[in-house]
Amino acid sequence: MHEDTGDLGRLKPAPGSIKKPKRIGRGRSSGHGDTATRGHKGAKSRSGYSRPLWFEGGQMPIHRRLPKRGFRVPDRTKYHEFKLSDLGRIKDDVVDPDSVRAARLVNGRGPIVLLGNGEVDRSLKVSVHRITKSAQEKITAAGGSVEILPLDPVERRVKKGPSKRNKYRPKARTQDI
């Protein structure tokens, strides 16, 4: 154990806690010369070698062993959902996408769907992109009205395409005359 004197000017690391780094490729007498601890031949001994993170040493990789199921529609429409029970947080009798976002019932842009969980206690004028059948019945039973907004073809897509210029594509050259 080291001696604890409390003098900050004489602090030292504990004995055995600091080790010299292994210096490879510095001659045979070091014990780490010749192959520089890389072994003989093979990809791992070559410079610039790096294996993919999913590489499993040549055995059949997990992403090929597992069965594949289903299909993901690349151009699907992702709706932001909110419920009838959340309508109490909107004070106005007009419910449209702007008022729903202002009340922080949904985050971000995109189409909005109203789900039928909960009850309606007042007459509301609801304008959304999609609504469930039960929600529509509850709103009309309370004396309200429902308007279905059209979907903007660009806004409805989950994948919107590249948002900025590709940095690997060369810039167009302009020649000075």
Closest to 80 measured CA to CA, from 113, 103, 102? 113
> Does 71 reside within a domain?
no
Q: What is the pLDDT of residue 163?
A: 58
> Does 131 reside within a domain?
yes
> Does 123 reside within a domain?
yes
Q: What is the pLDDT of residue 77?
A: 84
**Angle CA 148–150–151, to nearest 5:** 125
Q: How would residue 75 be classed by pLDDT, with cut points 50, 70 and 90?
A: confident
Q: What is the spatial distance between Cα 39 and Cα 137, in angstroms, rounded to a whole number?
A: 74
* Mean pLDDT along residues 42-58: 91
Q: What is the pLDDT of residue 74?
A: 77
Q: What is the spatial distance between Cα 134 and Cα 84, in angstroms, rounded to a whole number?
A: 10
* Mean pLDDT along residues 51-56: 91
* Mean pLDDT along residues 155-175: 61
Contact 80, 87 (CB under 8 A): no
User: On the CB side of 80, how many CA atoms lie within 13 Å of its CA?
Assistant: 16
- Looking at the 3D structure of the chain, how many domains does it have? 1
Range of the domain at 144: 80-148
User: What mean pLDDT is reported for the chain?
Assistant: 86
> Does 129 reside within a domain?
yes
pLDDT at 14 over 70: yes
> Does 95 reside within a domain?
yes
Q: What is the spatial distance between Cα 177 and Cα 174, in angstroms, rounded to a whole number?
A: 10
- What does R_g of the chain's alpha carbons equal in angstroms? 33
pLDDT tens for each residue of 88-145 = 888 889 999 999 999 999 988 889 999 999 999 889 999 999 999 999 999 999 999 9
Q: What is the pLDDT of residue 60?
A: 95
Q: What is the pLDDT of residue 50?
A: 93
> Does 105 reside within a domain?
yes
pLDDT at 154 over 80: no
Q: What is the spatial distance between Cα 167 and Cα 165, in angstroms, rounded to a whole number?
A: 6
> Does 93 reside within a domain?
yes
Q: What is the spatial distance between Cα 138 and Cα 146, in angstroms, rounded to a whole number?
A: 11
pTM for the model: 0.54
> Does 10 reside within a domain?
no
Q: What is the CATH number of the domain that holds 111?
A: 3.100.10.10
Q: How would residue 6 be classed by pLDDT, with cut points 50, 70 and 90?
A: confident
Describe the chain by its helix, strand, coil percentages, rounded to 5: 20, 10, 70
Q: What is the spatial distance between Cα 16 and Cα 92, in angstroms, rounded to a whole number?
A: 72
